Structures are given as C-alpha cells and as structure tokens.
Amino acid sequence: MKTRPNYFAGIGSFIWLLIVAIPLYVMLSGTFQTREEFGDNGPLSFPTSFTLQNYADAITSGFGRYFLNTVVVTVGVVAIVLLLVPPLSYAIVRSRSRAASFVFRFFLLGLAIPAQAVIVPVFYLINAVGLYDNLLGIILPTAAFALPICTLILSGTMRDITGELYEAMAMDGASPARAFFRLVLPLSKGGISTIAVFSALQAWNGFLFPLILTQSESTRVVTLGLFNFQTQYGINIPGLLAAVTLSMVPVLLVYLFARRALVQGLMGAGGK
Amino acid sequence: MTTLATRRQAGPGGSTTSRPARPGTSSVGRPGFAWALPATIFFALFALVPLAAVAVLSFTSWSGLGDPEFVGLENWETLIADPVMLKSLWLSLLFIVLGVVTQTPLSILLGVWAAGHQRNRAVLSAIYFIPLLLSSAAISVLWRALLDPNFGLPGQLPWLFGDGNLLGTQAGAIGVLIFVGMWQFTPFHTLIYQGAAKGIPPVLYQAASIDGAGMMRQFFSITLPQLRNTAITSIILMVVGGLTTFETVLILTNGGPGTDTTITAFYMYQEAFQSFDFGVGSAIALVLVVVATLISLVVVKVSGYDKMNSSLEGL
C-alpha cells in the first residue's frame, strides 16, 4: 500500500475540523460567561469568569419539564420499535411466504416517504382519536417513521444467522417462536442495540411531529423548548447556548458509550 | 436495557404464533406471515394510509375544525396561479443543487481521507461526527445565536461577515442555510463514503502503483469510479433531505426575508398550520412527494444505477 502521507487531504480535513469545532467551542465557552461579558468580549474570546447561572436560568425556564417529556417520548418510541421490529425482521428474513418479501419492499418504499408529506393526515388522525396535545400522539407517528430504517438494519443483522443453526434447533422440534427466542434474539443483540440507539436518537431530536401535534407547555419537548426559548429570549445568548448544550448532553453521552451501535446504524442508513 | 426490552415482548410475540410446530425440519425457524403483521399494520396506519389521504385531502377544503369539504380542483387551481408556490419550487431546486454541489466533494474528500491510515484519524473522525448527533432545532438555534449581528461572530469578525446582517438579504440567507446544511449533513455523507472507501479492494491500488499511477491518478481512476454506487445513494439522500429541509428554515430565516427562502416544504407548513388551509397544504405535500420521487428516479436513470448488477462490475 501507499505510504506517502496525503498533505492536501490532511490540510483540508484540518480546516473542516476547525469549522466543526469552533462553533462547538463558542457554544460551550459562552454558557459559562455572564451576558455582559459575552456581549462585551465577543463569542470567540476566552472566558475570564465562570458562572453556572445560564444553566440555572435554562432549567428554571422550564427545561426540566421539557426533558422529562422528551424522555417519555424517547422511551415510548424505543419500546414500540423493539416490540415490532424484531418479529418483523424475523419474518422478512426467514418466512417462506411471498407476502413477507412484499412487506420488505413495502418498508423500503416507506424509507422514501418524507414525514412532511403526511403531516396533514397524521394531524387529522391524531385529532380524530383525541391524542392531540398528548405525548402518546407524538410517540406513535415518530415510532412509525423509525420502523423502515430499523427494519433495514435489523434484517441485515438477522441474515447473518446461518441455516445450520436453525437446522441444529430442528433436533428439538422447535417452533418458530422457540427459534425466535432461543436463537434469533440472542444472536441479534448487536443489531437490536443499534436500532434501540438509533430510534432513541430520532425520537430525542424529533421536531416536526411535536411542533404540529402539541401546543401546551405541559407537553413541550426539548427541541420545541429550544425553538420557543429562541423566539422569546433571543437576546440572552448565553442562556440560549446553555439550553442548547443541555439538549445535547444525553446524546453525547450515548455517543460516548454506544458509539459503535450508533455509527453502524447511521452507516446502515445510507450504506445499503 | 436491550435484554429487558426484548424479554418484555415474550408475551405477545409468543401468543400470536401458538399454533403447533409441524414435525420435521422444514418448519423450524420459518415464521408465518403473522409475525410481520403488527409492524406492517402500524406502519401502514401512520405512513401509507396518510399518503393516500393526502391525495384525497388535496381536493377538499379544511380549516382544522369540523370535517373536510370536497371542493374539486380548487386547491390545485389556487396553487398553479400562486407565484409564491412557483418561487418555492425554484428555491427548493436551488437548495438541492447547492446542497449536492457543496456537500458531495467535501464528503468524498473527507471520507476517503478518513478511510486511510493517518495518525489521529480516529480522534478527528469522532469530532467530525458530532453535528450529526444534534437535533436540527439545536443546530439552528446555535447558528442563529452565532450569527447574531450584535452578539455573535459578525461583530467580532467584521472582515469576514461585512455589516453582519447576513440573514437580511436573500443571497446571505440562502448562503447561511446552505452552510448550516453542510455543517449538519457532511458528517453523515462522509461516514458512508468512508465505509465505501474502506471496501475498495487494496489490490486495485497495488496494481495501479505497479503501473506507475500517482496518487492523483489513483484517486480519479480507482477511488472515484468505485464510489459510484455510494455517490448515488448519498445524492438521493441529499436531494430528499434538501427538498424537505424544514427546521433550519423555520428557525433561522422563517422563510424570509419576505418569501426569499420559502422553500416548498416550509410553504406547505405555512399554508397548512399557519394559514389553516389544510387542503392547499395537502396539495403542496403531494407535489413534494411527486418531485422527490421523480428526482430520485432521474438520478438513478442518468447514473445508470438500474443497469448495474454489482458494484464490483468490471473486476
């Protein structure tokens, strides 16, 4: 293999690193400065004082509640995904019925449907069943739109389980359900954690469904809270940055501890 | 966490398939269609049925209260005569083209570089990756704060930002939206190019080296052609993503100045959820679906993707 370092690409990637990192630095350093200091010295300056007041402001302005709501939505979405996707992927990979391969194409088609295309009917539907301004009303469509990509990822994992393993189970005269719980689930742990992390990320960052399906403060999620905070207190930039930072913390923690699962999910999203 | 969650579904999963297993090997691990039903019905209810409903709603008038009323082609006539709609389509096209043109070369370069063996590569890739994890809302609010004419970067770096009111002109607002899109989505596309570049057989490079091809030549004659399939996937995702850009427009420019950044997806939201004209909103949504499908088909056709059997063709 070639060993000569590629200086051109190296310099280019360093410039891009600055473009990614400087905004993140400004964000973080801004949150620890007072409004006066931030305004006087400018965003790029190194902080000379240290305050946690901005975080306190963000939390007292309602972010505690928004966090709780987002956690509820995220847990709900992940639960639905974990309940529905493994049996579906199992059927797609192993079923001999022609309907199963049709269903797979149906979900592939679903990948291409943008959420915007259906928000008016979804709004109508959620209103009709009385779930408007209810967290469950956010959970259901968000979970539905996470299904196609999660199915794609998990059926990819399940395809790697070899036929011999199923044959081995045949000795016990195992039913499809037994094969599912004894063989398929244990061997798909990696894929299952990928779809859990991936759907959690989608739920945590979701904006459109909460925007159109909720209105009151008591059902507001973090992303909407940020938008609201920005329109109301756009002048208090350190406070705003603290709120943005808080909204990112859980995701960054997941990234730190489940990087592999996340990266695989994202690669699966585009690499197929 | 996962084991708990997967165990929880033991109840319902087991009960749907309680019919006795047939003797012999053929039935082992061959689940019936019933296993796919719950997810299929759930997805159909929230994605497929609404997709059909949006077509129906586009022929109705509905303000969000009461029941939709059939009005025939009225919404479509309104849309065709609407200059903002036409403008929004051109703006969407401009967004898509600028997005693809800025993100593709950058993510190919970064992806190929990140697939190499440089020192510190892993650490750098980890940092590149961060914007991808953040919500569009958080990113938009962050950039809005960073670009604030009084308290943000423009005040401190006048040589770079001029008078600082970037979002006050059409060119400035579009530039900001394209840049923020780049900041947000380049990591994702870099990642898929990185995965693809790692999969290029090293033997191709070895052969090229023996033939005396330099690094540039190798990049253009081996790397780029080998990334072709990935590029098509990536570009289709950019097209659909560009067409449905929403949060950044809402939070950064609110479609302005005037309607100068009102792209079609944002116009749909305004018509439906701010003007409460859900019939027209549905018609615009249908236009979005059709345009997204058409552009994707064109990309696939023009690239010859549908005629290729394998990414390793010609090896």
With H, G, I as helix, E, B as strand and everything else as coil, classify residue A131. coil
* pLDDT score of B284 more than 90: yes
Q: What is the DSSP letter of B70?
A: E
Domain count, chain A: 2
Chain A residues 10-69 within an 8 A CB cutoff of chain B: 10, 12-13, 16-17, 19-21, 23-24, 26-27, 30, 38-39, 42-45
Same domain, A155 and A250: yes
A155 in any annotated domain: yes
Of the given ranges (A129-138, A187-196, B89-98), which has the lowest mean pLDDT? A187-196
For an interface test with A, the pick among B8, B30, B43 (most A C-beta atoms closer than 10 Å) comes out as B43
Contact A241 B145 (CB under 8 A): yes
Q: Does domain B89-273 have CATH number 1.25.40.10?
A: no
Asked whether residue B248 carries a pLDDT value surpassing 80, the answer given is yes
Residue A56 in any domain: the answer is no
Q: Looking at this protein, which amino acid is placed at residue A229?
A: F
Cα–Cα distance between A175 and A198 in angstroms, integer? 31
Report which of B43, B201, B104 is spatially closest to residue A150, judged by C-alpha positions. B43
Chain A residues in contact with B43 (beta carbon < 8 A): 106-107, 110, 144, 147-148
Same domain, A160 and A248: yes
Instruction: Please tell me the distance in Å from A69's CA to the nearest CA on chain B.
Output: 16
Nearest Cβ partner for B278 among A112, A120, A170: A120
Measured between beta carbons, which residues in chain B are less than 8 angstroms from residue A263?
A: 129, 191
Domain encompassing residue A93: 62-271
Question: Is the pLDDT at A101 greater than 60, yes or no?
Answer: yes
Residue B256 corresponds to which tokens in the numbers above?
């302005």
CB contacts, 8 Å: A201 with chain B? 133
- The CA-based angle A175-A181-A184, given to 5 degrees, is 95
Is the pLDDT assigned to residue A209 strictly greater than 90? yes
A165 and A228 within one domain:
yes
Q: Are A113 and A220 members of one domain? A: yes
Measured in angstroms, the CA of B205 and the nearest CA of chain A are apart by 7
Contact B178, B95 (CB under 8 A): yes
Query: Same domain for A66 and A36?
Result: no
What's the average model confidence in pLDDT over A120-128?
Answer: 90
| Distance in Å, alpha carbon of B45 to nearest chain A alpha carbon | 9
A92: CATH: 1.10.3720.10
Indicate whether A183 and A81 sit together in one domain.
Answer: yes
Quote the minimal CA–CA distance from A97 to chain B in Å: 6
A191 in the same domain as A132? yes
Q: Tokens in use for A72?
A: 């509820």
pLDDT band at residue B92 under the 50/70/90 scheme? very high
A90 and A40 in a common domain: no
Residue A213, pLDDT score: 94
Task: Give the closest-approach CA distance of A130 to chain B in angstroms.
Answer: 13
Percentage of the residues of chain A whose pLDDT score is greater than 90: 31
In chain A, which residues have their Cβ closer than 8 Å to the Cβ of B297?
Answer: none
Nearest to B31 among A91, A113, A251 (CB): A91
Residue A219 has what DSSP assignment? G
Residue A98 counted as domain residue:
yes
- Same domain, yes or no, for A122 and A215? yes
Q: Which pLDDT score is estimated for B84?
A: 93
Find the closest chain A residue to B38 by CA distance: A84
CA atoms within 13 A on the CB side of A129: 14
Looking at the structure, do residues A164 and A110 belong to the same domain, yes or no? yes
Q: Kindly state whether residue A248 falls inside one of the protein's structural domains.
A: yes
Reading the block at residue B165, the tokens are 């009111």
C-alpha–C-alpha distance, residues B174 and A62, integer Å = 33
Question: Percent of chain B scored above 70 by pLDDT?
Answer: 85
A151 and A90 in one domain? yes
Distance CA B258, CA B84 (A): 10
With a threshold of 0.90, tell me whether the complex ipTM lies above it.
Answer: no
Please give the residue that has the higher pLDDT: either A173 or B233: B233
Tokens of A118: 């259906």
Q: What is the pLDDT of residue B119?
A: 67
The alpha carbon of residue B36 is apart from the nearest alpha carbon of chain A, in Å, by 4
The verdict on pTM exceeding 0.90 is no
Dihedral over Cα of B44, B47, B52, B57: its sign: positive
Q: Which residue ranges make up each domain of chain B?
A: 89-273
Assess if residue A224 is contained within a domain: yes
Q: At what angle do helices B278-303 and B228-243 cross, to 10 degrees?
A: 170
The C-alpha R_g of chain B, in whole angstroms, comes to 25
Cβ atoms within 10 Å of B198's Cβ, excluding its own? 12
Chain B residues close to A7, C-beta within 8 Å:
none
Of the candidates A97, A207, A235, the beta carbon closest to that of B136 is on A207
What are φ and ψ of residue B70, in 5° steps?
-70, 125
Indicate if A199 and A123 belong to the same structural domain: yes
Rounded-to-integer distance, Cα A17 and Cα B124, Å: 7
Q: Diameter of chain B by CA atoms?
A: 80
Res. B91 pLDDT band, cuts 50 70 90: very high
